[in-house]
Structure formats: C-alpha cells, structure tokens
Amino acid sequence: MKRIVIFILSLSCAFSSVAQQRPNIIIIISDDHALSTIGAYGSTYGATPHIDRIAREGATFIHTFVNNSICAPARATLLTGKYSHANGLRDNHDEFDSRQDIFPRRMKNAGFQTAWIGKWHLKTYPDGFDYWNIVPGQGQYYNPSFISMKGDTTKSTGYCTDIITDQALQWLDKRNTSQPFCIVVGQKAPHRTWMPDLQDLGKYDQTKFPLPPNFYDSYDQRIAAKNQDMNLANTLKLGYDLKMKSDTSDQLNSATAFTQRMNIAQRKVWNAYYDKIEADFLQQKPTGNALLDWKFQRYMKDYLSTTLSLDRNVGRILDYLDQHQLAENTIVIYTSDQGFYMGEHGWFDKRFMYEESMHTPFIVRYPGVIKPGISMPQLISNVDFAPTLLTVAGIAPPADMQGRSFADLFKNPTAKFRDAVYYHYYEFPGEHSVMKHFGIRTERYKLIRFYGEQNFWELYDLKTDPHEMKNIYAQVKSGNLVADLKKKLKDLTVTTNDEVALKVLGDGR
C-alpha cells in the first residue's frame, strides 16, 4: 500500500511538473485600435509605451490581417480559427454559437484554467470557460455593468478599462497555481465614442495632428469608397461623437448621453473639460474645411486620450506578471479585433478591405522562445490565431480549423508562411453603407471583388500605391497579373468553401 501511495504521489508530482512547463497565455484584445497610433508600428504620439514594451521584449508581426473587419466576427474568428461563413457569424447582427468547437474549451479539457473577462460582444453567453464575466453588448466606459456566470447583472463604479483589468488580476490571484492558465482580457477601448478616463482629459490638447496624405480623397474610380457613410465630414457627429451639447440634431444620441451613467463627481470633471472646448468652438464657428479640420483634431485627441488608459492597464498586467514571477513562463499577446481609420480617405471606422481596417496589431512576448525586439514580415490572418495558441499549449489543432499555426515562426522568424490572405465582408446595407466584398491580399497586390447591388473589381499595387488611391484593374484586367491573382482568389474560395464567393465568381459577374 505504501508503494502504491508513493507511486500515485510521484505521478501526481510529475503531472504537475509537466503542467507547469506548459506556458500560460494572456491575450489582451482591444477594440478598434489603429496601427497608426501604436509606437511599435511607427507612431510618434507616445500613447502606447507599455504595448511597445511587449514589442521590445517580443515580436511585432507587421503584416497581420483580419478576414472580416468588424467587431463580433473578428472575435468569433479568434475563438474558432474559422472564417465567418464557417463559424456562422458574418456580421454584428448574428448570434454566435458558443457551443461550437473553440480553442479555450480544448485548453480547458487539456488542463488549462480558462477565462474571458470584459468585452465579449457575441450576443450569446460564453461557453467552454472555467470563468467569465462580461460587459453587456458594447459595454459602457463609465460605471459599467457586468454579467456574471450566474446570469445576474451588477453595476461597477469607475472606468471600464481599469475595472476589466482589476477583475482579470483578481482572477489570476484566485487561480489554481498548479495549472497553466489562458485568459482573454477583452477591453472596450478605444471603441466609438472615444471617452477618455478623467485623468487623461486634455492630454493631447496641445498636439496639432497632421492630416493624412489622402484626407481629401475624391474617390476617383472607386465606387464603393464614394458611396460609404463613414466620413468625418458628414457621418462624425458633433454631439454623439465629439461631445458638443449644442448639437441637438440627434436627441437620443446627444452629448448629454455621455454623462448619464456618471456620478456627480465624475460628471463635474467631465463637464468642466468639454464645456470649455465647446465654448471655444462656438466662438470660432468654423465652417467648410476649417470645420472638417476641427472635427479631425477633436476626433484624434479623444481617440488618443482613450488609448492612454488602455496602454496603462496593459502595463498593470505586465507588472503583475513581474511581481508574481510569472513573466518567464507566460505568453503575452496584444491585438485588436481589427484596425481603424484615423482620417485616411477622410474616414473613421473600419469594414473595408483597405489597409487601415484590414490591418490589425499583433504583438507577442514569449520569453526564451521569441528573440526580443524582432519584426515578423510574414502575412498572417486572424484565422491563424486559434491553431497557433493550441500549438504553443501543446494541443493538436482540430482538422476542421481553417487557420494554420504559425508557432514555428517564433523559433524560425525568417521562414515562409502565407503568400496571400483572404477577406470577406458581408454586412450591407449596414451602419456605414460599405458594400459587400471579398478578395485577397498578397505581399504586393490587393484584388477586391465588390458584389450585390453593384458588381465590379478593384486592384491595387501596394508597392507603388500604399494609400490605395489608384484602382488599376481597368488598365491591366486582361494581363497575366490579374489572371494569376484571380486564380489565387478562386483557390482560396475553394479551400475555405466560401459558397457565396464561389457563386459570385461562378456567375462571372
């Protein structure tokens, strides 16, 4: 009996040792974070020192793209490793079936403790996690509500980014330390309507932001770009977006709605700041291009100020890992659900297959495996995230995951990976009137097929036209380049079994 007990104890210790050798994983996913505002990707605004720290101590993937640039579908792809048509979530109106095969459930079954805390935004409740606590829908910046695993809703006091991080660190404090963990920290920031933490109000008021080179885009030869409804000139609202109370054009979404969840002390600080901004605006009474520039500057100031708290809380998580001797065995990933327009083409928002919205940050720190400070040039899709996470956790990705693991790149950063990434956007008519389209992006070219209300092609040479201003499809449509790109596109629609795209291509429209 003594020998049996000793044998069982030795097995238990061995299992615990193996479990501890597997890396912990923290995934911080923000909402609508533009690459152009992140220092690791070349921004000079100084808004992301802690995110930049992850890059200095890990790898920056410089060509990471989403397959559908909209909030809920991006999260569904992260969870499933499948394209939108395969995981059932094509747009923000669909409900995600969280009972389907997702990477956290596989990790849980393999002995990882798993959690999702913060923004979920998939309409149904999470499934397959040891723990979750989520904000309803988009969530609120101030004094947000949370839905627990019991189904009850409680209201917290404070700023959403801080509270989500508080809860994530509390979960880490209470975890079973004999098991590896995987936690997703879903931050709301910096999603529209860009409400900074009170301590960050005015941090960029002395900054004059330069207009993007294609700010005054005429959309020549680009039908979909001309027909969108996501421009700063007309779509960005003085009240709803820029907090000007004198804008009474939309009473339900007016500037006063911002302070409804605030307590008296919060409201006092908020109003003191924005009332001063509005008084100056009413005195200036800008019109024409002067008004457009004023809107752009206010948009940039609020957006960048909102990211300050996001970055500060990334720093809190990194500090926690250092203080609890977890840093050396924990993979830290920073990413966003997609990119965002910061005035490029005169826009805000996302959705299009153009670079600013399709392109998303992906930064990884993996001590002892990833060489610090490297840049990874390979083409990566967010459909590849789930199989990669399973691979580094020592779990074989299921055969029906459509993404590919790029875990080998961590040790071999010069290896080849993809020669093209696939994209398909479905939501039309939607909030910003972006036409349905699908296409591929290679290292140099982007071929896009718009379909539905109107049917046409666009082609961009990203080497000579990085701002995607010149659609060259008409000039080269009968040449070898287009034939080759169309073949790649067709092959990917077949490989991914995208029946909608295959029908469009098959119809020859």
Per-residue CA distances from 420 to 65, 308, 335, 374, 448 (Å): 10, 34, 20, 22, 13
What token pair was written down for 310? 């996001």
Position 418 in a domain: no
Position 464 in a domain: yes
Please write the tens of the pLDDT for every residue from 276-294: 999 999 999 999 999 999 9
Q: Within a 10 A sphere around the Cβ of 430, how many other Cβ atoms?
A: 17
Contact criterion met (CB below 8 Å) for 65 and 358: yes
Mean pLDDT score, 153-168: 98
**66-70, 199-203, 257-261, 420-424: segment of lowest average pLDDT:** 257-261
Position 276 in a domain: yes
Range of the domain at 212: 207-299
The residue out of 299, 323, 357 marking a domain boundary is 299
Q: Could you give the 3-state DSSP secondary structure of residue 231?
A: strand
Position 291 in a domain: yes
Closest by CA to 19, choosing from 112, 84, 106, is 112
**CATH value at residue 470:** 3.30.1120.10
Residues 6+ apart with CB under 8 A from 240: 193, 247, 250, 253, 254, 255, 257
Position 367 in a domain: no
The model carries a pTM of 0.94
Q: At residue 197, does pLDDT exceed 90?
A: yes
High-pLDDT (> 70) share of the chain, %:
95
Q: Which residues of 360-397 are buried (b: 16+ CB within 10 A; e: fewer)?
A: bbbbbbbbeebeeeeebebbbbbbbbbbbbbbbbbbeb
The residue out of 299, 331, 363 marking a domain boundary is 299
Position 25 in a domain: no
Q: At residue 28, does pLDDT exceed 70?
A: yes
Q: At residue 17, does pLDDT exceed 70?
A: no
Position 231 in a domain: yes
- Mean of per-residue pLDDT scores for the chain: 94
Please write the tens of the pLDDT for every residue from 304-330: 999 999 999 999 999 999 999 999 999
Please write the tens of the pLDDT for every residue from 464-490: 999 999 999 999 999 999 999 999 999
Position 364 in a domain: no
Q: Radius of gyration (Cα) for the chain, nearest Å?
A: 23
Q: What integer pLDDT is reported at residue 399 of this predicted model?
A: 96
Q: How many domains does the chain have?
A: 2
Polymer length in residues for the chain: 509
The residue out of 299, 323, 348 marking a domain boundary is 299
Please write the tens of the pLDDT for every residue from 370-416: 999 999 999 999 999 999 999 999 999 999 999 999 999 999 999 99
CA distance 195 to 207: 18
